[in-house]
Amino acid sequence: MMGGSIELESRLAHGSTFRVRLPLAEPPPVAPAMDVATDRSYRLLLVEDDSIVATVIRGLLEREGHAVVHVINGLAALAELAHAGFDAVLLDLDLPGVDGFQIARLIRQREHAGQHLPIVAVTARSGSEDEAKARAAGMDGFLRKPLSGEQLTGALARAVNGVPA
C-alpha cells in the first residue's frame, strides 16, 4: 500500500536477512531548540549513585568537550565543592543518605554573596510536583531520565547562562 517491498533471503545454517524498502521522503532538518550558545566547555560535577546512568551521562557530556567529575552521593559532592571549582552541578534527586533536594539547599546555604553555582536536577522521578520542589530547593534546571544529549546540553547551557527554563 505504500509502494515499498519486503525481501527475504535465507540460507540453511547461515540465517536469514530481511529487507524492507519504503519510499519515504527524507525528513526536514531539525532546527536547534535553544537560543543559548553551547560552544563553551564546562567543568561539571555529576552526582549520581547509579553507575550505569553516570557512565551514560558522563559520555554524553565528555563527547561535547566537558570535563566531568563523578561522585556517588551528596556528602562526596559537598567535599568536592569544598576544594574544587565547578561551572555547574548535575544532581540526582534520589541519592543514598542525603537526597538531592537537601544537597541543593546546603550548596545554596554555603554560597557567599554574589556567588551562584548552577544546579540541574537529573531524575527518574515522574511526579508532577518534583520540578517545583527542585526549584524551591534552589535548582536552576530540571531533566527527567532518560534524556538525550541535546536535552542535557540545552539545560546545562541555560542554567550556566542564567536563562530560565
State the amino acid at position 5 in one-letter form.
Answer: S
Question: What is the model's pTM?
Answer: 0.75
CATH topology of domain 43-160: Rossmann fold (3.40.50)
State the average pLDDT over residues 10-28: 84
53-98 pLDDT, tens digit per residue, is 999 999 999 999 999 999 999 999 999 999 999 999 999 999 998 9
Task: Give CB contacts under 8 A, 24+ apart, made by 111-116.
Answer: 116/162
Is the separation of the CB atoms in 82 and 123 below 8 Å? no
Q: Out of 6-15, 32-41, 96-105, give the one with best mean pLDDT.
A: 96-105
102-150 pLDDT, tens digit per residue, is 999 999 999 988 889 999 999 998 888 999 999 999 999 999 998 998 9
Q: Which three cell numbers stand for residue 86?
A: 565547578
